[in-house]
Amino acid sequence: MRPAAYIALGLTGLVLAGCATPYKANTHLPAGYEAPQTPAADSLVSPAQLETWWTQFGDPQLDSLIAEALKSSPDARSAAARLREAQATAGSALIAFLPQGNGAGSTKETHTTQTSGNKITIPGFSNNGQSDTSSANLNVSWELDLFGRIFAVAKAAQGDTAAARFNYEGTRWSLAANVADVYFQTQGLAIQLADARETVRIQTELQRIVDTKLARGLASQADTDRVAGDLSQARSQAAGLEAELQAARRTLLVLIGRGSDLTSAIDVHTALPAMPPIPVTVPGELLARRPDVREAHARIASQVGRLTYSELAFFPTFTLTPGIGLSRNSQTGFLSATRFWSIGAAVSQPVLSIPRLLTDLKAQNARTEQAFIAYEKAVQSAYGDADNALVRLDADGRRIALLTDGEARARRAAQAGQTRYAAGLDDLQTSLGAEQSWRAVRTQLTSAQVQGLRRAVQTYKALGGGWPASSLKTDKEAH
């Protein structure tokens, strides 16, 4: 090896030693959540049930809607197309290290007639007649990978493919949660609309009573105006709920891929399910379950592979250029055929391009560092999402318990008022007032129940439920 080559390799080693930066992601998580987790032993949810958490609500219609969304939703189909694109791109990156080349061929036919001068009749030298010339050759270029560039490219390609897979699963993970969230919101709106219509009925009856009293001189105009205002407010609330229910149904149809269907195609139940049990998990399981965390982990593998490739760009590149060919020349009375082969080799050592390669390496170092930081952020965000969801879900449970007791008491009071009215002990206005109070508490309970169900959906999602983590390989490619 010549002294210049030793100098080039020595400079390469110094460059790599100066630019290599060790990264290590901080994925420390507490041993447990601050949120209380004390479910009964018989209410624990298994990992398999966590993958299809929506079945824990016991609502066949919800199960059907989520299955349809995962199959037909534009979001799910678009994510699947992105995954196929990433898989194809990864394959093309590796094909670049295989022998490359194209075959070429040509043929030519010439007709010649000499019109003056001396005619040469020697075979092979005649100016007259027909001549055919054809040739075919194959030239190949093959880069010899002596330093492991293909392994660096393969690592980056595998990381990109894994990231695309987790992005695909993450899209489905979010889609299932969105469908369930809008579904429970739609149910809550339907229940509230039914209560709002009952409130309109009560206010209409109260309006009739106060108008009768006013006609008999037993009430003032102010009382009539106040009841009329309450009736207008009740009607306005019912109209608003009708519009919200219509919009929620349309949103649900869009989510499942049937956005052009009539909203009546969604049959809304007016009975909310009970809140299902939430699985007891440890924070560390988020690293294996949540697709967004695993996607960030796969991005590290991709960037580390690219960083290795940038480092290897300082080493020489060896290329073989073999070739084979055949030519044939036919003329009147003469035939000539030739076969040939060739082989060549080339070596390229970066010298004047080293400053550019140094800049590229520094930029790739920064991108790799960003990937590690993004992974740390994904881990911390996952823990925050899970802990916050559990805290809020616990508060929702306590709120629902209080309102359930209050609603039961208000319902008993309304029933007692109806009994007293039927017995002639109370007037209709007093009975309707008790029923109105019960309807108000019932509306608050419905809102709390819907919020609790939606919070349960958020909790399942935050804990990494809704995708088949057990069916995927571990993240060995990210190390």
| Predicted local distance difference test score (pLDDT) of residue 464 | 87
Q: Are residues 454 and 393 in the same domain?
A: yes
Eight-class DSSP state of 467: S
Q: What's the CA gap between 400 and 406, in Å, rounded?
A: 10
Q: Are residues 329 and 198 in the same domain?
A: no
Q: Are residues 258 and 325 in the same domain?
A: no
Rounded (10°) CA dihedral 439, 442, 447, 452: 180
Domain-embedded: residue 17: no
Instruction: Report yes or no on whether pTM surpasses 0.95.
Output: no
Whether 464 and 289 have beta carbons less than 8 Å apart is answered as yes
Q: List, run by run, the mean pLDDT of 10-residue segments along the chain (479 residues).
A: 46 47 75 69 58 89 92 90 88 80 81 63 58 82 85 90 91 92 93 89 86 82 84 92 93 91 85 82 84 92 92 90 82 74 86 92 93 94 91 91 91 86 77 84 90 92 76 43
Say which residues have a Cβ less than 8 Å from residue 61's Cβ, sequence separation at least 6: 183, 267, 269
| Predicted local distance difference test score (pLDDT) of residue 118 | 59
**Could you tell me the residue range of the domain that residue 201 belongs to?**
26-97+159-314+354-478
Whether 190 and 272 have beta carbons less than 8 Å apart is answered as no
Q: Are residues 418 and 303 in the same domain?
A: yes
Which ranges of 28-101 does DSSP label H, i.e. alpha helix?
47-51, 60-72, 74-95
- Buried/exposed 193-223: b ≥16 CB within 10 Å, e otherwise: bbbbbbbbebbebbbebbeeebeeeebeeee
| Predicted local distance difference test score (pLDDT) of residue 183 | 94
CA 343 to chain centre: 50
HSE-up of 35 (CA within 13 Å, CB side)? 24
Domain-embedded: residue 153: no
| Predicted local distance difference test score (pLDDT) of residue 399 | 92
Q: What's the CA gap between 75 and 229, in Å, rounded?
A: 46
Q: What's the CA gap between 458 and 440, in Å, rounded?
A: 27
Q: Are residues 450 and 374 in the same domain?
A: yes
What is the CATH number for 214?
1.20.1600.10
Other beta carbons within 10 angstroms of residue 476's beta carbon come to 8
Say which residues have a Cβ less than 8 Å from residue 29's Cβ, sequence separation at least 6: 283, 284, 286, 287, 379, 383
Q: Are residues 111 and 136 in the same domain?
A: yes
Give residue 239's identity as a one-letter amino acid code: A
Determine whether 62 is exposed, middle or buried from the number of CB atoms within 10 Å of its CB (0-12, 13-18, 19+): buried
Domain end position, chosen among 349, 368, 397? 349
| Predicted local distance difference test score (pLDDT) of residue 7 | 44
> From the CA atom positions of the chain, what is the Rg in Å?
38
Domain-embedded: residue 345: yes
Whether 91 and 160 have beta carbons less than 8 Å apart is answered as no
Give residue 456's identity as a one-letter amino acid code: A
Domain-embedded: residue 7: no
Domain-embedded: residue 5: no
Nearest to 460 by CA among 73, 226, 184: 184
Nearest to 275 by CA among 68, 409, 462, 458: 458
Eight-class DSSP state of 262: -
Q: Are residues 183 and 116 in the same domain?
A: no
Domain-embedded: residue 15: no
Q: Are residues 242 and 343 in the same domain?
A: no
Which ranges of 423-479 does DSSP label H, i.e. alpha helix?
428-462
| Predicted local distance difference test score (pLDDT) of residue 148 | 86
Whether 56 and 276 have beta carbons less than 8 Å apart is answered as yes
| Predicted local distance difference test score (pLDDT) of residue 340 | 77
Q: Are residues 115 and 175 in the same domain?
A: no
Q: Are residues 257 and 246 in the same domain?
A: yes
Domain-embedded: residue 1: no
Q: Are residues 438 and 308 in the same domain?
A: yes
| Predicted local distance difference test score (pLDDT) of residue 114 | 62
Quote the number of domains for the chain.
2
Domain-embedded: residue 373: yes
Q: Are residues 180 and 233 in the same domain?
A: yes
| Predicted local distance difference test score (pLDDT) of residue 11 | 46
